[in-house]
Amino acid sequence: MLFEAESNKKKYTIHVNEGVLDWKIKIHQDKKEPIQYIVSKNDYQTLDKTISFIFKNSSYLIDVVGDGINYDVYTRGSYRSIKIFNDEMLLHESLRGGDSLSDDKELKSGMPGKILKVLVDKGDQVKAGEPILIMEAMKMENEMLATKDTKIKAVHVKEGQTVEADVKLISFS
Amino acid sequence: MGEIAVTAAKSIKYEGAGTIEFIFDNSTKEFFFMEMNTRLQVEHPVTEMITGHDFVKEQIKVAQGKKLSVKQEQIEKKGHSIEIRVCAEDPISFIPCPGKIRRYRSPKGPFIRVDGYAYPGYKIPIYYDPMISKLIVWGKDRKDCLKVLNRALQEYMITGIKTNLVLHRNIIAHPKFKDGTYTTQFIENEFGERKQKDFFMYVDEHVFLISAAITAYKEEKRKDISKYNYQSQWKNTGRAQSMRTQ
């Protein structure tokens, strides 16, 4: 099976072939020579939903969380967010390309927290650098600033409200 | 320092557990008062490890109006101890990273203590600071202690959220930390332009890629329904219908 992967801003093509006794993985990074690994299924096992992987004589306990495209890989206190597409998904992505969900149209919560203050109302004109909202998370108050001169289209949250990560807080016109 | 701390506490007729903080200049051997806290500090396990006394118990006793169970002369120091705070935060940007812990395995073995209350499925709340646990280790001297700490950090597994475990590993491996010449600007100066690549050197890049790719492969296989040989009932019905004679 062929996958396109993106990790740490680098692009890879990965071939995964499952054999009876081993996995054949070919990793091809742009312009570099492809590298083939033959990973014995004895060295790559899933135990209690955790992957035990012996790679180059080093043992890793790995946890992979994935939703079909975005995979977060955790091991040895390190982590990596990897995007993985197969052919079909690549097509979907390219079709979606035209639709630009640009960040400067809305303010989203970077992490879960509580809205302390909303400093703007619908229709207000704000200047770049002006505070628009104060959010509290983990005992810290964070002031959200406008990144450019713009007008407030809508305010989606109320003071005192708790929000999850990646929630739309304010829209700009 | 101890004498001055006692004098300070006595001068305000303070009773109970308290902590007085000083900062020590190793080159001039001068020390300066910083602040006093009217309680035990988050670092108290370090003192417990090198003295073998339970200070929380003593603090409660004193608060009840009872006497301390030991005298200063009876307290002996032994070895070296280090405590680290394990926090749910991005080790690169220091931004807190609350969320749900998926896998949790704390280090075990001699001279390792973990104070904390985390388990698989535990949700790190957004209301407090992002500390998950405290890891305290003991060794016969600092060098030995750092060895124990390094192993403990290797064994500590927390997944599902970002933690600063890898930052601690980088810190204790740093020559300036090892020889003790670091200052309060250590992080700023030495890890100022830290990058994911340097920080995650403990893992081969391809380990991430292979495990993600195999997981994605298995996911695709699982979703592939052609192997189940499902057939549309419409098709069967259609066939049966067409065979009927009018």
Task: Please report the pLDDT score of residue B84 as a whole number.
Answer: 97
Query: Looking at residue A103, what is its pLDDT?
Result: 53
Last residue of a domain, one of B78, B103, B127: B78
B209 vs A contacts (CB less than 8 Å): 5, 7, 12, 14, 27, 82
Residue A123, CA distances (Å) to A34, A170, A172, B227 in order: 55, 12, 9, 56
pLDDT along chain B (246 residues), means of 10: 90 90 89 92 94 94 92 93 95 87 94 94 87 96 96 94 93 92 86 76 91 92 71 80 78
Neighbour count for residue A67 (Cβ, 10 Å): 8
Question: Would you state the pLDDT for residue A150?
Answer: 86
Distance separating alpha carbons of residues A95 and A99, to the nearest angstrom? 8
Q: In the prediction, which pLDDT does A94 show?
A: 53
Q: How much is the pLDDT for B239?
A: 84
The answer to whether residues B119 and B101 touch, using CB atoms and an 8 Å cutoff, is yes
Task: Let me know whether B187 and B221 are in one domain.
Answer: no
B198 shares its domain with B101: yes
Q: Are A117 and A133 spatial neighbours (Cβ–Cβ below 8 Å)? A: yes
Tell whether B118 and B141 lie within a shared domain.
yes
**Helix, strand or coil, per DSSP, at residue A120:** coil
Rounded Cα–Cα distance for residues A16 and A18 (Å): 7
- Give the angle subtended at the CA of B143 by the CAs of B154 and B194, to the nearest 5°: 55
pLDDT tens digit string along B70-91?
998 999 999 999 999 999 998 8
- In terms of domains, do B203 and B148 share one? yes
SS3 B239: helix
Residue A40's DSSP bridge partners are A22
CB-nearest partner of A56 from B159, B160, B204: B204
Instruction: Count CB pairs under 8 A between chains A and B.
Output: 147
Q: How far apart, in whole angstroms, are the C-alpha atoms of residue A170 and residue A109?
A: 10
Q: State how far the Cα of A17 lies from the Cα of A5, in Å rounded to an integer.
A: 16
Short-list B99, B139, B115, CA closest to B45: B115
Give the pLDDT confidence score for residue B211 in this predicted structure.
95
Q: Identify whether residues B161 and B201 lie together within a single domain.
A: yes
- Tell me if A40 sits within 8 A of A56, measured CB to CB: no
Q: Could you list the residue range(s) of the whole structural domain that residue B233 is in?
A: 214-243
User: Angle at CA A103, nearest 5°, toward A99 and A105?
Assistant: 85
Same domain, B179 and B138: yes
Residues of chain A contacting residue B96, judged by C-beta atoms under 8 Å apart: 111, 137-138, 140
Tokens of B15: 């009773």
Residue B201 phi/psi, 5-degree rounding, is: -65, -15
Report the alpha-carbon distance of residue A143 to residue B109 in Å, rounded: 44
Same domain membership, residue B237 and residue B200: no
| Residue B102: burial class (beta carbons within 10 Å; 0-12, 13-18, 19+) | buried
Cβ separation B205–A7 shorter than 8 A? yes
What is the chain A residue with the closest CA to B97? A111
pLDDT in the model for residue B106: 94
pLDDT at residue A72 in the model: 93
ipTM: 0.76
Q: If you ran DSSP here, which 8-state letter would residue B122 be given?
A: P
Kindly state whether B198 is in contact with chain A, defined as any CB-CB distance less than 8 angstroms: no
Residue pair A134/A116 in contact (Cβ under 8 Å)? The answer is yes
For residues A84 and A67, is the Cβ–Cβ distance under 8 A?
no
Residues of chain B above pLDDT 70, percent: 96
**Are B103 and B186 in a shared domain?**
yes
A103-172: which CATH topology? OB fold (Dihydrolipoamide Acetyltransferase, E2P) (2.40.50)
Q: Is B73 in the same domain as B149? A: no
Please judge whether A1 and B217 are an interchain contact, meaning their C-beta atoms are less than 8 angstroms apart.
Answer: yes
What's the domain count of chain B? 3
Give the residue from A74, A85, A140 with the most B CB atoms within 10 Å of its CB, the best one to mutate: A74
- CATH number reported for the structural domain that contains residue B74 in this entry: 3.30.470.20
Query: CA-CA distance, A167 to A109, in Å (whole number)?
Result: 5
Question: Domain ranges in chain A?
Answer: 2-96, 103-172
Give yes or no: residues B108 and B167 share one domain: yes
pLDDT at A97: 46
Q: What confidence score (pLDDT) does residue A68 get?
A: 81
Cα–Cα distance measured from residue A80 to residue A145, given in angstroms and rounded to the nearest whole number: 29
Angstrom distance (rounded) from CA A112 to CA A12: 32
Are both B67 and B173 inside the same structural domain? Answer: no
- Note the pLDDT of residue B132: 93
Spans in chain A with pLDDT lower than 50: 97-102
Q: How far apart are CA B105 and CA B116, in angstroms?
A: 12
CB-count exposure of residue B120 (10 Å: 0-12, 13-18, 19+): middle
In the structure encoding, which two tokens stand for residue A97, read together?
Answer: 């390309």
For the record, the structure tokens of B5 come out as: 């701390």
pLDDT at position A75, please?
93
Domain end among B78, B102, B127: B78
Q: Which pLDDT belongs to residue A99? A: 39
From the list B99, B202, B211, the residue facing A53 with the nearest CB is B211
Q: Residue A98's pLDDT is what?
A: 41
Co-location of B53 and B116 in the same domain: no
* Whole-angstrom distance, CA of residue B246 vs CA of residue A138: 76
* B39 among known catalytic residues: yes
The architecture (CATH level 2) of A2-96 comes to 2-Layer Sandwich (3.30)
